[in-house]
């Protein structure tokens, strides 16, 4: 499980705190049970830039979570990422929230593609960009748990993530007033270190049916599809095929 880091020079109170946290986290992982308080969020609403403040969709919900819970989530995220990268499970062109990759990775791919097409006479190219609405909030818990089990991860990680997703609750905070607590039946909390990686796992197979004539790039929940053809009619047909495959 977890071990205290004896190489770090710390004062006695800090060492005691680390020891207690290590015991607490190890018991949490051993039991596969996350304390209810760690799965309870106060959701604050942050208005998106240049949006109508009267419209509910203009606000981004950010979950304020337990600091202890987030600390363990960060540890699990690091271990999970190492396992996924070692086994080459994550999509090749998913550049979001991964070590050694960034938006530049797919931008350079697209730039090289465009340059190659410009060298071809009478070649038409197009790109479609997708911005998935409320992407993290739409994650189906049972579907994600099924995919996590299918990955054959270490049992303690699978059990922890299952507990992380189940029976989450939240209240919405507006001007220091909290709403009644309610149960979250879907979604991963924006504000959790684990949420981006869980979303990537949940959508990892979304590109499996994309035709080979179309290339793609992803950055977390942002997706781009691009292709080319000798005629506009054929180009349109290719794009329609690819969009249909992505949305299926």
pLDDT at 11 over 70: no
pLDDT at 3 over 80: no
Distance (Å, whole) CA 173 – CA 179: 6
pTM for this predicted structure: 0.87
Distance (Å, whole) CA 246 – CA 227: 14
| Orientation of helix 155-165 relative to helix 67-86, angle to 10° | 130
Rounded mean pLDDT of 164-172?
Answer: 97
pLDDT of residue 131: 84
Rounded mean pLDDT of 213-239?
Answer: 94
pLDDT of residue 6: 45
pLDDT band at 4 (very low <50, low <70, confident <90, very high): low
pLDDT at 51 over 50: yes
Give the percent of the chain with pLDDT over 70: 96
Rounded mean pLDDT of 165-185?
Answer: 95
> 171 vs 56, which has greater pLDDT?
171
Mean pLDDT for all residues in the chain: 92
Three-state SS for the chain is CCCCCCCCCCCHHHHHHHHHHHHHHHHHHHHCCCCHHHHEEEEEEEECCCCCCCCHHHEEEEEECCHHHHHHHHHHHHHHHHHHHHCCCCCCCECCCCCCCCHHHHHHHHHHHHHHHHCCCCCEEEEEEEECCCCHHHCEHHHHHHHHHHCCCCHHHHHHHHHHHCCEEEEEEECCEECCCEEECECCCECECCHHHHHHHHCCCCCCCCCCCCEEEEECCEEEEEEEECCHHHHHHHHHHHHHHHHC
């Amino acid at each position: 499980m977890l071990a205290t880091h004896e190489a770090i020079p710390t004062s006695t109170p800090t060492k005691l705190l680390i020891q207690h946290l290590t015991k607490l986290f190890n018991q949490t992982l051993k039991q596969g049970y996350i304390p209810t308080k760690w799965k309870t969020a106060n959701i604050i609403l942050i208005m998106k830039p240049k949006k109508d403040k009267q419209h509910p969709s203009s606000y981004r919900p950010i979950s304020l979570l337990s600091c202890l819970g987030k600390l363990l989530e960060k540890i699990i995220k690091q271990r999970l990422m190492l396992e996924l990268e070692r086994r080459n499970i994550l999509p090749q062109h998913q550049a979001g929230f991964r070590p050694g990759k960034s938006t530049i990775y797919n931008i350079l791919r697209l730039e090289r593609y465009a340059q190659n097409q410009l060298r071809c006479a009478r070649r038409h190219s197009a790109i479609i960009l997708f911005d998935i609405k409320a992407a993290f909030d739409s994650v189906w818990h049972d579907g994600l748990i099924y995919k996590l089990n299918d990955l054959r991860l270490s049992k303690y990680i699978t059990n922890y993530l299952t507990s992380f997703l189940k029976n989450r609750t939240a209240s919405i905070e507006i001007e220091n007033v909290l709403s009644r607590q309610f149960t979250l039946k879907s979604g991963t909390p924006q504000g959790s270190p684990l949420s981006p990686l869980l979303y990537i796992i949940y959508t990892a197979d979304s590109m499996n049916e994309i035709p080979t004539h179309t290339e793609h790039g992803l950055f977390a929940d942002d997706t781009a599809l691009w292709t080319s053809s000798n005629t506009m009619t054929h180009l349109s047909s290719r794009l329609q095929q690819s969009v249909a495959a992505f949305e299926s």
